[in-house]
Amino acid sequence: MPSEALDLNAAATERAPRHALFSDAASLLLRAAAPERREVLVGVAWLVVAALLEACGPLAGKYLIDNYLLPRNAQIPAIAALLIGALVAGMAASWLRYLQLSRLAGLAMRSVRRIRETVYGHVLRLPMSFFDQAIIGQLVSRVTNDTEAVKTLYVQVLFVMLDSVIVLCGALAAMLWLDWRLMLIVATLVPVVVLVIVAYQALSAPAVTRARELRAELNAQMAESISGMPVLQASNATPRFNQRFADLNEAHYQSRQSALRANAWLLRPVLDFMNVLLVALVMWVFGRRGESVALTALQVGVLYAFINYIGRVVEPLTQITMQFSQLQQAMVSAARVNTLLKEAEAPVAADQGQVTAGGISIERLDFAYLPGRPVLHDINLEIAPGSFYGIVGHTGSGKSTLLSLLLRFYPARPGSIRIDGTPVGAIGEDHFRARIGLVPQEPFLLAESARENIAMGRSLTDAQVEAAARAAHAHDFIMALEAGYETPLGEGGARLSVGQKQLLAIARALAGEPRILFLDEATSHIDSETEQVVQRALTALRGRVTIVAIAHRLSTVRAADRIVVLNHGRIAESGTHGELMAIDNGLYQRLYLLQQLEGEAEPG
C-alpha cells in the first residue's frame, strides 16, 4: 500500500469538530483516572491550599509597607512576625506544590499504563475485518506514541494548567480583597488572553493537525519499507522511497515550523506587552489618586502588592497559552486512542456447545466482505466427522474465505455454519480454538524459539512438541539449527525457508491435537517428496480428525473422501477424485489433466 493511503479513521478524527475532540479526550482521561479519583481530588485540594499560601506573600508585604515601615510606627516584633510568616507560608507552598505535582505525575503515569494496556488488549480482540483496513505503522503509533501524548496531556498540560489556574484565582482573590477596582483592571487580561488563544488556535490548528498526520505517515512508511525490504531492494525502489520519506519529513518539519512561528509571533509578545501595559495602568491609577489624597493614606503597600500580583496573573496565563499547542496535539492523540477504543470488538461466543466429533455442516452460506460484492454464494456442505475434504478452485474463487468463516474470523449468517450441531458463533472461544487447528496460507512465525513456535504458549511437554515436529517432518531441520528446538527463529521466522516455515506451521497445528484441522495451501512450498511424508502423517489422522485441505496441487487432495470444486464462490462440482474425473470436460478434469501435462513436462 502506498503511504498516501492515509488511515481514514485517523484523518476523520483529526478533522472532527473541536467539541468532539474535547469530549473524546475528556472521556478517555476520566476513564483512565477513575480508579484513583480520590487521589486526584486530594492532590487538587492540596494544590489549592498551596496557591492560597503563596498568595499570602505579597499581602504580608503590603501590611509591612503600609503599617510598619513608616518611622513612627516601626515595630520590630510585628515586622519580624510578618517576615517569618511570609517566609514560612512561601516555603510551605513550594513544598506542598512539589509533593502534589509529583503525586499527580505518578497518577498520570499509572493512568497511561492503564490506557496502554486497555488499547493493546482491545486491539487483540478486534474482529479480523478491522485489520483488512488497518495500516500497521499507524496502529503501532496509536498504541505507543498516542498513549504517550496522553501522558503529556496529564502531566505537563493538565497539571501545569490546573496549577496555573489555581495560582491565578488565588492572586485575583487577593487583589479583590485589597482593591476591587484595581483588580478589575488586571482582570481584563483574562479575556484578552482568551482572545489570543482563539486567534492562535485558528492560526496553528491546521499546522498542528497536518504535522500529526504527517508523522503517522512517516511511521507507516517506515513500517511498510521494513516489511517489504526484499521487494524494495530487488526492484531498486529504495531511492524512490528515500525521496518520498525525505519529502514527508520536510513537509512535517514545515508544518511544525509554522506552528512554532504562530507561537513565537503571537503568544509571547502579546503577553509581555500586556504585562507592561497593566503595570503602567495600575501605576497611572495610583498616580491619579495620589494627586487628591495625602501620601500616608495612599497605601503604597497596595501598589507593591498589585505589581507583584500582576506578575502572578501574567505568568500562569503565559504558561497556559504556551502549553496550548501541546494540549491541542495531546487532545488529538487522546481522541484517536478513544476512537480506536470505540471500535466494536469481536463478539464473545456464548459457550453453548462443544466441538466433540468434529462434524461440520454448512447450509445456504452467502458471504461478502464488502456490501454488494458477494464472494461466496449458496454454499451447502455436510462434512462427516473424521473425514478428509479437499477444496480446489482457481485463484480468488473463495477458498480461503470459506475457511475464514469456518474459523469465525468473519461472522457468517447465524446458523449457516454448525459444528457438531452447534452454530459456530455459540461455541466458547477457548474451547473452539483448542479444538480447531489451522495451517494458514501464509505461515506466520513468532520471533521466538522453534519450540515456542510449536507450543504457542500451550502447556506441552518436550516429547509432545517433538512428536508433532516429527509428524510434520520438521524435526530434522530443527535439529540441524545451531541450538535445535531452542534456536530463535528471527522475526517472522526470517531464518527459515518458506517450506520450512510451512512444516513448522503444520507441526504447530498437529501439536494441539485438534478435532478439526484446516489446511490452506499448507504444502504449496514443500517439495513433492517431503509432501508425501506430511501427507502420510495427515492420513494417519483420518477417522479421528476432520481435515479440510485447500490445495492447488491436486495430487495433495487426490485421496480425499470428497473434493469440492469452487468456481467464483459457488460449488461447481463435488465428489471423489474418480467421480470428478468422470465428468467429461468438467472443471476438475481439465485442471487435473493440465497439471499432469505440466508434471510430465518438468525435467527430472
Name which of Mg ion, ligand ATP, none residue 132 binds, using a CB cut-off of 5 to 8 Å depending on partner kind: ligand ATP
| Residue 585 interacting partner from ligand ATP, Mg ion, none (CB closer than 5 to 8 Å by kind) | none
Residue 228 bridge partners (DSSP): none
Residue type, 417: I
393 backbone φψ class: left, alpha, beta (φ>0; ψ -120 to 50) = left
Candidates 23-31, 82-90, 345-353, 395-403: pick the segment binding ligand ATP (CB under 6 A).
395-403
**In sequence order, what are the residues at sequence separation of 6 or more whose Cβ sits closer than 8 angstroms to the Cβ of residue 277?**
none
How far apart (Å, rounded) are the C-alpha atoms in residues 419 and 433?
13
Residue 599 interacts, among ligand ATP, Mg ion, none and using kind-specific CB cut-offs from 5 to 8 Å, with: none
Q: Is 556 in the site for ligand ATP (CB under 6 A)?
A: no
Residue nearest to Mg ion (CB): 400
- For the bound state, the minimum distance from the C-beta of residue 441 to Mg ion, rounded and expressed in Å, comes to 5
Classify burial at 519, counting beta carbons within 10 Å of its beta carbon; exposed 0-12, middle 13-18, buried 19 or more: buried
* Residue 395 is a binding residue for ligand ATP (CB under 6 A): yes
Which one among 117, 132, 430, 486 touches ligand ATP, defined by CB under 6 A? 132
What's phi and psi for 115, nearest 5 deg? -60, -45
- Taking the complex as a whole, how short is the minimal distance between the CB of residue 437 and ligand ATP, in angstroms? 18
Exposed/middle/buried for residue 441 (C-beta within 10 Å: 0-12, 13-18, 19+): middle
Q: 152, 204, 325, 397: which one contacts ligand ATP (CB under 6 A)? A: 397
Contact 352, 426 (CB under 8 A): yes
Taking the complex as a whole, the smallest distance from the CB of residue 518 to Mg ion amounts, in Å, to 12
131 binds ligand ATP (CB under 6 A): no
516-520 and 546-550 strand pairing: parallel
Contact between 389 and 466 (Cβ < 8 Å) = no
Asked whether position 375 contacts ligand ATP by CB under 6 A, the answer is: yes
Which residue number, 399 or 451, has a Cβ lying nearer to ligand ATP?
399
* Cβ contact 243:206 at 8 Å: no
Query: Choosing among Mg ion, ligand ATP, none, which partner's interface includes residue 490 (Cβ < 5 to 8 Å by kind)?
Result: none
**Number of residues lying near ligand ATP (CB under 6 A):** 13
Residue nearer to Mg ion on the CB measure, 399 or 435:
399
Determine, following the binding rule CB under 6 A, whether residue 442 of this chain makes contact with ligand ATP: no
Interface mask (CB under 5 A) for Mg ion, residues 552-571, using x and -?
A: --------------------
**Which stretch in 296-304, 340-348, 405-413, 434-442 sits in contact with Mg ion by CB under 5 A?**
434-442
Smallest separation, CB 590 to ligand ATP (Å): 17
Q: Helices 180-187 and 159-178 meet at what angle, rounded to 10?
A: 150
- Helix (H, G, I), strand (E, B), or coil: what is residue 524? coil
What does 375 interact with, of Mg ion, ligand ATP, none (CB < 5 to 8 A by kind)?
Answer: ligand ATP
Instruction: Answer yes or no whether residue 390 interacts with ligand ATP by CB under 6 A.
Output: no
Structural element, H or E, at residue 518: strand 516-520
C-beta closer to ligand ATP: residue 375 or 564: 375
Distance in Å, CB of 5 to ligand ATP, minimum: 15
Q: How far is the CB of 403 from Mg ion (least distance, A)?
A: 8
Work out how close the CB of 552 gets to Mg ion at its nearest, in angstroms, rounded to a whole number.
9
Q: Of 371 and 578, which CB lies nearer to ligand ATP in the complex structure?
A: 371
Could you give the CA distance from residue 213 to residue 13 in angstroms, rounded to a whole number? Answer: 10
Element counts in the chain: helices (H) and strands (E): 23, 10
Residue 400 or 523: the one with the smaller Cβ distance to Mg ion is 400
Note the helical H segments in 456-513: 462-471, 475-480, 498-511
- For Mg ion, the binding residue among 100, 318, 400, 556 (CB under 5 A) is 400
Question: Cα(280)–Cα(274) distance, rounded to whole angstroms?
Answer: 10
Shortest Cβ distance from residue 132 to ligand ATP (Å)? 4
Q: Does 398 bind ligand ATP (CB under 6 A)?
A: yes
* Three-class SS state of 26: helix
CA distance 260 to 245: 22
- d(CA 457, CA 265) in angstroms, rounded, equals 57
Task: Decide if residue 491 touches ligand ATP (CB under 6 A).
Answer: no
Annotate 90-132 with DSSP letters as a single string. HHHHHHHHHHHHHHHHHHHHHHHHHHHHHHHHHHHTS-HHHHH
How far is it, in rounded angstroms, from Cα 105 to Cα 164? 16
Q: How far is the CB of 500 from ligand ATP (least distance, A)?
A: 21
User: Taking contact as CB under 6 A, which single stretch among the options 110-118, 166-174, 334-342, 388-396 is the one that binds ligand ATP?
Assistant: 388-396
Among 299, 400, 500, 556, binds ligand ATP (CB under 6 A): 400
- Contact partners, residue 565, CB within 8 Å, separation at least 6: 392, 393, 571, 572, 573, 574, 580, 586, 587, 588
Nearest to 129 by CA among 460, 404, 509: 404
Q: Per CB under 6 A, does 401 bind ligand ATP?
A: yes
Nearer to ligand ATP, 341 or 519 (CB): 519
C-alpha cell at 374: 458477494
How many Å from the N-terminal Cα to the C-terminal Cα in the chain?
Answer: 40
Q: By CB under 6 A, what part of segment 333-372 binds ligand ATP?
A: 369-370
DSSP letter assigned to residue 386: T
Cell of 11: 484523518
Nearer to ligand ATP, 10 or 402 (CB): 402
CA-based R_g, the chain, Å: 36
What distance in Å separates the CA atoms of residue 435 and residue 357, rounded to the nearest whole number?
Answer: 10
Separation of CA 519 from chain center: 32
Shortest distance in whole angstroms from residue 551 CB to Mg ion = 11
Window of 103-111, 266-274, 397-405, 421-429 that interacts with ligand ATP by CB under 6 A: 397-405
Residues 441-460 that bind Mg ion (CB under 5 A): 441
CB closer to ligand ATP out of 542 and 553: 553
CB of 525 to ligand ATP, least distance (A): 13
What is the nearest approach in angstroms of ligand ATP to the Cβ of residue 375? 4
Residues of the shown chain interacting with Mg ion in the complex, contacts defined by CB under 5 A:
400, 441
Residues of the shown chain interacting with ligand ATP in the complex, contacts defined by CB under 6 A:
132, 369-370, 375, 393, 395-401, 441
